[in-house]
Amino acid sequence: MKRKVTLKQIAKELDVSISTVSKSLRNSPEISEDTRQKVQAFAKLYNYRPNNIALSLKNKKTKTIGIIIPEIVHHFFATVISGIEQVANECGYNVIVCLSDESFDKEVINMEMLATGSTDGFIMSLSKETQQKKDFHHIQEVINQGMPVVLFDRITNDVLCDKVIIDDRRAAYEAVEFLIKKGFKKIALVTTVDYVSVGKLRTDGYTNALHDHDLPLNDDLVVKIEDIENCALKIEAMLQQQRPEAIFAVNELFAVTCIKQATKMGIKVPEELSIIGFTDGIISQYSSPSITTVSQNGIKMGRKAAKMLIERLEMEEEDERYRTEVIETHLVERESTLSL
């Protein structure tokens, strides 16, 4: 087993100083052609690579981005990571991933852990608990220490930093409007509890669309899901009692569950019930029928977030003007919707 070789070892072996070795490898003009070649040959032979940790310590830069997300077993977040990783890779950065598991405490702990030197900045999406508690001191603290943070998707307005979002309200509005234009009047909503920021916004979009098209807002048509467990039951109850013509669901899981429940109850999708989901993930694509949905390009969001973060990391003087980028969405029409 041959351990990693260091400058010191090379220096000793060639009987020169460490400085000479370092300079030779970085092609400094201070070093004679002769020794430079000699050192480089030796380094190549022993496959020398400068130690990242030492470089990080010296440069006070780790070239690593910390990602903190609620969970990774979630197609949307996985695509975002993928996007971040692409840009990071192009720019010579690594990504270190921490999962909050929707827990405030884990989010805080992970952040503090990474903030003590491990990363140069953060890209994160808030956990449900954090959104509920509205406690963002850990993020503010990190920012105060001079580390840039980019929030995406599940964000908050209570902390000043760069953000990448989609226009949830508008996207939802357009989805519901799409249903209205197809001729549906009795449109149900399956959404999350209000403290989930994106859920709330999408709910708003639904409400606004109904209102702008002079349709009544009927609370009985609105299902708010707290935990996935009883999701199916609540949807079934609503379907039973209300028999809507169409449903707008704020995520894939809700949408596919609607389809499953409806099918089970003998309601044909899309013939008797049209459904639109949110987030164009695997479920929407492979469900039967496949689901018309609002496509929310995670790769793009990830790429954008990474670009913003790295740009800020590589700025010489800091800029207090923070941006909020809105990634465009569009409706992907599939099999789960039909005109009346």
Query: Is residue 41 close enough to count as binding DNA by CB under 7 A?
Result: no
Q: How far is the CB of 310 from DNA (least distance, A)?
A: 20
Helix spans in the chain (H): 7-14, 18-25, 33-45, 52-59, 75-90, 104-115, 128-133, 137-144, 168-181, 197-212, 231-242, 252-264, 282-286, 298-313
Q: How far apart, in whole angstroms, are the C-alpha atoms of residue 11 and residue 27?
A: 16
Query: Is residue 286 close enough to count as binding a second copy by CB under 8 A?
Result: yes
Give whichever of 4 and 181 is closer to a second copy, judged by the CB atom. 4
Sign of CA dihedral 298, 304, 309, 314: positive
Give whichever of 85 and 153 is closer to a second copy, judged by the CB atom. 85
Q: How far is the CB of 4 from DNA (least distance, A)?
A: 7
Cβ within 8 Å of residue 232, ≥6 positions away: 257, 260, 261
Query: Is residue 14 close enough to count as binding a second copy by CB under 8 A?
Result: no
Burial of 125 from C-beta contacts in 10 A (0-12 / 13-18 / 19+): buried
Instruction: Choose from DNA, a second copy, none: what does 20 bind? Cβ within 5-8 Å by kind.
Output: DNA
Taking CB under 8 A as the criterion, the residue among 261, 279, 287, 296 binding a second copy is: 287
Grouping H, G, I as helix, E, B as strand and the rest as coil, residue 328 is: coil
Stretch that binds DNA, among 56-64, 127-135, 144-152, 241-249 (CB under 7 A): 56-64
Give whichever of 205 and 281 is closer to a second copy, judged by the CB atom. 281
Query: Is residue 117 close enough to count as binding a second copy by CB under 8 A?
Result: yes
Q: How far is the CB of 27 from DNA (least distance, A)?
A: 10
Bridging pattern class, strands 330-332 and 292-295 = antiparallel
User: Under rule CB under 8 A, which residues in 134-193 are in contact with a second copy?
Assistant: 144-146
Q: How far apart, in whole angstroms, are the C-alpha atoms of residue 309 and residue 123?
A: 8
Angle (nearest 5°) at CA 278 between 277 and 282: 85
Cα 85 to Cα 69, 96, 97: the distances in Å are: 14, 10, 11
Query: Is residue 16 close enough to count as binding DNA by CB under 7 A?
Result: yes
Give whichever of 37 and 52 is closer to a second copy, judged by the CB atom. 52
Q: How far is the CB of 112 from DNA (least distance, A)?
A: 14
Contact residues for a second copy, defined by CB under 8 A: 1-4, 49-54, 56-57, 62, 64, 71-75, 78-79, 81-82, 85, 89, 94-99, 106, 112-118, 144-146, 253, 256-257, 259-260, 263, 282-283, 286-288
